[in-house]
Structure 1
């Protein structure tokens, strides 16, 4: 039965967020618009992860390397969060499928852990073009299977990710269902990239407003990461998958970013599939503003909402099992 998604417009764009947007519009968008998608450029993408070492995790954060997966991973616990083998957030970082990793996202992931009061398994999946996107998705699905094999109940697991990682959170849930695994408690997408067809973004009112991402450049991303894939392939494009029986979803997006198109379309299709979805549109915020929470303080409020969502969906599952 179809249900209407809950759309929450979050007002308030502080001075820090406005400054961040202005700086991105002046320096970042022109660079992204002109940077060629060549093998050499993609090799340089790895430098971003090393630069991420400059983003120190908040004081009191604990990280433990995780072995036994086909890729690197770590457990992140924010300040005051105890080790808890019974529940977890499974997090996939963004970076256009080709960049970033554990270091770049550790500060934000630690904040999510603290907000939710539970450990986060942060996964550094293998990335295209070194591996096909099917391998990337398998790494994410295997991380979910790894948690289940260690006794974590599916109702105590929330899948989450930002940008490309938001795509992978949905893809992992869909592929886990195809593999016969139980569904997780919830999915949280932060500015998720979900549409392999750029036309809706190009036509969206936010295309000239986005200070970070020119919509047309996302076509280069798709050609690199999803070569030969039809835009409506249900196995690789969550927007066109059978979304029925997915768990409750939280989507956060900035009101001026071009991926608002993806968020709105996914919320609409989740509702049509009968999946509870809350879409939060944050005024004046840029793509994955949560990672810039030290400057855009609204990012901290959004992270608190992610934590509230994770606690809520896992509590509901526990109550049903009781």
Structure 2
């Protein structure tokens, strides 16, 4: 109503010689059209928090110019990797004890959360970073959260990256880690492979090459803004685009330069160079997230269509006003925590440790009485949490207060008087 009154009052001022400047029009509220999807079964998350908007604006303001103009050389890549190592000093969960070891000759870090549900699942996680940044340290928090939500043993892989190796070498490291896990895992049928961005590329390559090599396929695949081809910026592929690309991170024009480093002359990637073309080799249940205007979204929806046409179980979620691979920012964004809960539920359903939820729950509506936000502690007079035999129970009981021995010191557990809920349309 306020907007209608404003238009009625000032809309006719042009007849008096007045016209709002372009700057003024940009300051006025703009109505956002409802989200649309090529993949009709995708869950569209139309609402967003103020935090998400602030993060998106900050990334566009500070990070995008650096990525647009910084030279892409081995020296700059090593400098970025050095900055990544500072993540090792970030706060960690008191309820997770990371254990480093070799898996198939590849360095990995394993973790299990003490407060998570009991599970025989193992999650093999590949971090993102465009094959030139990111590490076990930068993605330790998302692995801790996945361990908390699923009860799984989460194994983060330190695969080779630029400039030491090309994408083909990263793929071989990923397969060595997967084969090593198959050889040592007590429940190989409950191995879930997950990753974000470039890690999503490796996740899909593991699924493809497992089929090609005659290995047991992963029980499920979890991909957050996955890179499904080495040329996602190309407009001449048979991928329908219904929303203009406005990626908050990487300008599409920089990709040809990066692609030359990803796949240099003389380097051969086993199987298809782009997992987008390998849909015939992928049969594992697949969970994917994407952002409405990111560069990788069109291929995420196209891959969903290809697999759904083969009757492969696919669950795709598309968010508005988020940044690329936003589930990694679960310490900051409520939408990120929501996405991780959905992914964790999908994995538990795939391995048979959780019954399938009703469609309303899968679409993002989570009644307080039925589901627990596992990465927050919220106490009031009628709702509390208790931990019994490693499982979380929710009910109308007396508010639970931790004892001195049980005091929660983990930064991911915060006592708040509110929760964030987002209902998909």
Asked if these proteins are the same fold (TM beyond 0.5), I'd say: yes
Partner residue in 2 for 1:165: 199
More helix as a share of residues: 1
Q: Distance in 1 between matches of 2:215 and 2:56?
A: 41
Larger RCO, structures 1/2 (Cα 8 Å, 6+ apart): 1
Q: Distance in 1 between matches of 2:272 and 2:236?
A: 21
Q: Which moved further from structure 2: 67-76 or 284-293?
A: 67-76
Partner residue in 1 for 2:413: none
1:196 paired to 2:230: yes
Partner residue in 1 for 2:175: 141
**1:86-97 alignment runs, 5 A limit:** 86-97=120-131
Aligned to 2:174, what secondary structure does the other structure show? helix
Provide the aligned C-alpha RMSD in A.
Answer: 2.7
Q: Which moved further from structure 2: 290-299 or 88-97?
A: 290-299
1:109 paired to 2:143: yes
**1:249-264 alignment runs, 5 A limit:** 249-264=286-301
Cα distance, 1:231 vs. partner? 12
Q: 1:183 to 1:311 in 2, by over 3 A?
A: same
Q: Which moved further from structure 2: 279-288 or 256-265?
A: 256-265
CA contact (8 A) 1:155 1:185 kept: yes
Q: Distance in 1 between matches of 2:83 and 2:183?
A: 33
1:224 paired to 2:261: yes
Q: Which moved further from structure 2: 222-231 or 54-63?
A: 222-231
Q: 1:258 to 1:230 in 2, by over 3 A?
A: farther
Q: Distance in 2 between matches of 1:142 and 1:232?
A: 14
**1:1-322 alignment runs, 5 A limit:** 6-81=41-116, 86-197=120-231, 198-200=233-235, 209-228=246-265, 234-315=271-352
Cα distance, 1:201 vs. partner? 9.7
Cα distance, 1:205 vs. partner? 6.2
TM-score by length of structure 1 reads 0.89
Which runs of 5 or more structure 2 residues have no equivalent in the other structure? 1-38, 356-425
TM-score by length of structure 2 reads 0.68
Q: Distance in 2 between matches of 1:125 and 1:185?
A: 22
Q: Deviations over 1:260-302 (max 9, x none)?
A: 1231222122223332211100121111111112222110111
Q: Deviations over 1:126-151 (max 9, x none)?
A: 11331232221111112111121114
Count residues with an aligned counterpart: 314
Q: Distance in 1 between matches of 2:260 and 2:242?
A: 24
Q: 1:233 to 1:216 in 2, by over 3 A?
A: farther
CA contact (8 A) 1:129 1:225 kept: no
Aligned to 1:6, what secondary structure does the other structure show? coil
Aligned to 1:291, what secondary structure does the other structure show? helix
Larger radius of gyration: 2
